[in-house]
Amino acid sequence: MQLYVLVLNHTEYLEPLFKAMLDRGIRGATVLDSTGMMRVLADDENVDLPMLGLLRHMYSPERRASKTVFVVLHDEQLPVMAEVVEQVTGGLDQPDSGIAFALPLQYVKGLGQEA
């Protein structure tokens, strides 16, 4: 089993993502509000880091938060989930779009019969 984590900067994709996940048989995601390190630093006028001025211009000022999605997947669901994310978001290779990664799980409890 895998823990798939997606930090989604374009929160308008969250509902379409969940609908696409359901269509592909992926259920049980958890969502948390999150804010990235550079977003926090970009808002702090007292922080003087190299390149921070450039980074301030790269981030959309109207977008303050991201959504972090956690979902436990069977190994065979991992490529399906990655495909769904790419289709819904248009690709995470775009600047300030988000990041995704998966971690192998050694122990899972509480998923019920489907685990």
Contact 10, 89 (CB under 8 A): yes
Domains with residue ranges and CATH for the chain? 2-35+65-107 (3.30.70.120)
**Token pair belonging to 78:** 């991992």
| Per-residue confidence band for 112, with pLDDT thresholds at 50, 70 and 90 | confident
Summarize pLDDT for 45-98 with one digit per residue, the tens. 665 555 555 555 555 555 568 999 999 999 999 999 999 999 999 999 988 889
3-state SS class at 73: strand
Pairwise CA distance, residues 23 & 29, whole Å: 14
Could you say which DSSP state residue 53 is in?
H
Q: Is the dihedral of CA 85, 89, 91, 95 positive or negative?
A: negative
Summarize pLDDT for 4-28 with one digit per residue, the tens. 999 999 999 999 999 999 999 999 9
Contact 99, 23 (CB under 8 A): no
